[in-house]
């Protein structure tokens, strides 16, 4: 297909690539001054009703799910010659397949990617959809102010869970698709996607997809030094018998998160150094809001735990958080504190393993939320917080900070949750903090409060 000049108001810049059914173009929305990717159904398929239906169905699912972890569809239209096209978010950093080709990825990077891919597939499963073609080339990457973001793409084979349980034509990509997908007429459920997640995990770790099922070589034999729990998870996802796989994408992702949170997980390079490119591009915006100072110190009370200082310039606030939690952060009015109403953003600083999941009840996002509030604001643990039970209350005096800490050692099966309202005698303003951690370590909460400063 020769390069068209424009699709509607979108000016074509260049071709991004072609798949079996469509060509994707990079275009510029001159009105909004923003790049977009436009997927156009190939001419030879455009008049086949079932293919046209599937193309529009992909657009509908992506429009309806509207998730940060999935490619977003902004619009669809039809060209004068009858070919439909969809206008999508442009993923400017290629795909996970490109990333794997560039060389071995550090383990913490692999786990971050898997968590984000798993979140995207969880959104689809919650929507009642099975992706059916999860593979590294269908996971795109986009730069964002907090680093690189995963966007799950290409729902050309996606099917509703209800339809997939009846007669289903064989579809998927060898190497990544579950054994039951290669049987025409076989009924499918979300565990087919779990198999593909296992296959993507295998490739992210070893650089190559798993062998044909049954998969017997654990990834840790190809890349020694993996946490045994990761080997176990991947091999269980790749089980021929789907009863032995994790039940769905959420279960798989939760297990990846738990592995990722282990304090002894080898840390390669801190993420803000790895994403130098997008970080520098957005530096002007971010520096005024928050900075990871890059100072890494050993925790006084917890041998082996490294802490890093994060600064929120608008409130002159500095907070120390364990380095393993400092993967994402939100600042300003984008933050939804866990103990808030959940629907109203508050000013403040959130540093967490998964900033987007922070305020959800069943989150396994660990981290710290902190903000400076006027003294007269009602604060604290009088309600049940996000944990559905009454908290323990204790008074705190660190010599620098005085106040109250409310603690839920068991927060809805997701570790512990603590909140604190502390002030410095004679200094106006109160610092309100929330700490979520995988276990219950009140000493760590005290250490975080101790490392907080306002100036
Ligand atoms: N939103 C997007 N932003 C940037 N590049 C994209 C986007 N969507 C698709 N691409 C790129 O366009 C190319 C074609 O994508 P498409 O989804 O049509 O096919 P595919 O995944 O390569 O193949 P197939 O559909 O046969 O599995 C791929 O290289 C893909 O990385």
Measured in degrees and rounded to the nearest 5, phi and psi for residue 443 equal -65, -35
**H/E element, 284:** helix 283-287
**H/E element, 228:** helix 228-237
Residue with tokens 């959104």: 123
Between CA 354 and CA 328 the distance in angstroms is 6
Closest residue by Cα to atom 22, ligand 1, is 19
Please list the active-site residues: 133
Between CA 118 and CA 259 the distance in angstroms is 14
Residue 137 pLDDT > 90: yes
Closest residue by Cα to atom 20, ligand 1, is 19
Query: Residues 6 or more apart from 33 whose CB is under 8 A from it?
Result: none
Q: 373-376: list long-range contacts, CB under 8 Å, 24+ apart.
A: 373/429, 373/430, 373/431, 373/432, 374/428, 374/429, 374/430, 375/423, 375/428, 375/429, 375/430
Query: Residues 6 or more apart from 145 whose CB is under 8 A from it?
Result: 278, 282, 285, 286
CA 97 to chain centre: 18
Helix, strand or coil for residue 222? helix
CA distances from 277 to 192, 201, 225, 274, 383 (A): 36, 25, 29, 8, 44
Between CA 435 and CA 405 the distance in angstroms is 11
For residue 342, the model assigns a pLDDT of: 52
CATH topology of domain 96-261: Transferase(Phosphotransferase); domain 1 (1.10.510)
The per-residue pLDDT of the chain, averaged, comes to 83
Helix/strand/coil percentages in the chain, nearest 5: 30, 30, 40
Residue 388 pLDDT > 70: yes
Number of Cβ within a 10 Å radius of residue 261: 20
Helix axes 191-206, 249-261, angle to 10 degrees: 30
Mean pLDDT lowest among 52-66, 123-137, 306-320: 306-320
For residue 329, the model assigns a pLDDT of: 78
Mean pLDDT score, 234-251: 97
Mean pLDDT score, 119-141: 95
CA distances from 223 to 24, 32, 101, 199, 228 (A): 36, 46, 16, 15, 12
Residue 100 pLDDT > 90: yes
Given a contact cutoff of 8 angstroms between Cβ atoms, the answer to whether 187 and 179 are in contact is no
Between CA 75 and CA 56 the distance in angstroms is 11
Share of the chain above pLDDT 70, in %: 81
Closest residue by Cα to atom 4, ligand 1, is 91
Q: 17-24: list long-range contacts, CB under 8 Å, 24+ apart.
A: 18/42, 19/154, 19/156, 20/156, 21/45, 21/51, 21/55, 21/156, 22/55, 22/156
Is 250 labelled a binding residue? no
For residue 168, the model assigns a pLDDT of: 54
pLDDT tens digits for range 282-302: 333 333 345 555 556 666 665
Between CA 159 and CA 343 the distance in angstroms is 32
Pairing of strands 22-29, 402-408: unpaired
Tokens, residue 169:
């034509």
Q: What is the ipTM of this complex?
A: 0.96
Q: How confident is the model at residue 439 (pLDDT cuts 50, 70, 90)?
A: confident
Helix, strand or coil for residue 128? coil
For residue 273, the model assigns a pLDDT of: 32
Considering only residues 46 and 272, tell me which one the structure prediction assigns the higher pLDDT: 46
Residue 270 pLDDT > 70: no
Given a contact cutoff of 8 angstroms between Cβ atoms, the answer to whether 53 and 31 are in contact is no
For residue 312, the model assigns a pLDDT of: 84
Domain edges within the chain: 6-88, 96-261, 307-454
Closest residue by Cα to atom 25, ligand 1, is 19
Measured in Å, residue 37 CA sits from the centre of ligand 1 at 9
Alpha helical stretches, state H, 93-187: 96-101, 107-126, 161-164
Between CA 181 and CA 132 the distance in angstroms is 8
Ligand 1: which of 12, 13, 17, 149 to mutate, most ligand atoms within 8 Å of CB? 17
For residue 296, the model assigns a pLDDT of: 61
Task: Write the DSSP string, 43-58.
Answer: GGGTT-HHHHHHHHHH
Q: How confident is the model at residue 266 (pLDDT cuts 50, 70, 90)?
A: low
Residues within 6 Å of ligand 1 by CB: 16-22, 24, 37, 39, 71, 88-91, 95, 137-138, 140, 153-154, 156
Q: Which atom of ligand 1 is nearest to the CA of 18?
A: 14
Measured in Å, residue 90 CA sits from the centre of ligand 1 at 11
Global confidence as pTM: 0.64
| Preceding amide of 419 cis, omega within 30 | no
Considering only residues 217 and 166, tell me which one the structure prediction assigns the higher pLDDT: 217
For residue 88, the model assigns a pLDDT of: 97
CATH topology of domain 6-88: Phosphorylase Kinase; domain 1 (3.30.200)
Mean pLDDT score, 358-364: 75
For residue 455, the model assigns a pLDDT of: 79
Mean pLDDT lowest among 168-182, 246-260, 271-285: 271-285
Residue 366 pLDDT > 50: yes
Considering only residues 271 and 368, tell me which one the structure prediction assigns the higher pLDDT: 368
Between CA 347 and CA 351 the distance in angstroms is 13
Between CA 123 and CA 360 the distance in angstroms is 14
Q: Does domain 307-454 have CATH number 2.60.120?
A: yes
Length in residues, the chain? 455
Considering only residues 20 and 162, tell me which one the structure prediction assigns the higher pLDDT: 20
């Amino acid at each position: 297909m020769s390069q068209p000049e424009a699709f509607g108001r979108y000016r074509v810049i260049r071709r991004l690539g072609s798949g079996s059914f469509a060509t994707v173009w990079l275009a510029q929305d001159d009105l909004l001054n923003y790049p977009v990717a436009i997927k156009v159904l190939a001419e030879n398929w455009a008049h086949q009703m079932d293919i046209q239906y599937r193309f529009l169905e992909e657009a509908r699912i992506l429009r309806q799910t509207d998730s940060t972890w999935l490619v977003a569809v902004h619009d669809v239209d039809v060209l004068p010659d009858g070919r439909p096209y969809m206008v999508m978010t442009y993923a400017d950093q290629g795909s996970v397949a490109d990333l794997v080709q560039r060389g071995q990825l550090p383990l913490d990077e692999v786990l971050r990617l898997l968590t984000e891919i798993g979140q995207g597939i969880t959104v689809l499963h919650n929507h009642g959809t099975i992706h059916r073609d999860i593979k590294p080339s269908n996971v795109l990457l986009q730069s964002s102010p907090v680093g690189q973001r995963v966007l799950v793409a290409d729902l050309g084979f996606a099917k509703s869970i209800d339809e997939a349980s009846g007669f289903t034509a064989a579809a998927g990509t060898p190497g990544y698709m579950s054994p039951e997908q290669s049987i025409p007429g076989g009924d499918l459920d979300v565990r087919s996607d779990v198999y593909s997640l296992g296959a993507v995990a295998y490739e992210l770790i070893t650089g190559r997809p798993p062998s044909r099922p049954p998969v017997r070589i654990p990834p840790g034999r190809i890349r020694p030094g993996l946490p045994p729990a990761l080997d176990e998870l991947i091999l269980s996802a790749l089980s021929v018998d789907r009863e032995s796989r994790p039940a769905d994408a959420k279960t798989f992702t939760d297990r990846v998160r738990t592995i990722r949170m282990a304090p002894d997980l080898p840390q390669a390079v801190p993420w803000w150094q790895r994403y130098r490119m997008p970080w520098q591009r957005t530096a002007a915006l971010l520096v005024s809001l928050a900075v990871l100072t890059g100072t890494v110190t050993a925790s006084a009370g917890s041998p082996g735990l490294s802490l890093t200082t994060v600064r929120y310039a608008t409130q002159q606030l500095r907070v120390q958080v364990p380095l393993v939690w400092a993967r994402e952060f939100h600042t300003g009015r984008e933050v939804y504190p866990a103990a808030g109403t959940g629907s109203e953003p508050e000013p403040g600083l959130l540093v967490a393993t998964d900033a987007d999941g922070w305020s959800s009840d069943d989150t396994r996002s660990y981290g710290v939320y902190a903000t400076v509030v006027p003294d007269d604001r009602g604060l604290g643990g009088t309600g049940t917080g996000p944990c559905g039970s009454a908290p323990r209350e204790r008074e705190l005096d660190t010599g620098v900070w005085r106040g109250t800490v409310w603690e839920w050692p068991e927060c809805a099966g997701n570790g512990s949750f603590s909140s604190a309202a502390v002030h410095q005698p004679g200094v106006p303003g109160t610092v309100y903090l929330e700490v979520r951690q995988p276990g219950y370590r009140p000493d760590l909460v005290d250490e975080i409060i101790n490392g907080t400063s306002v100036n």
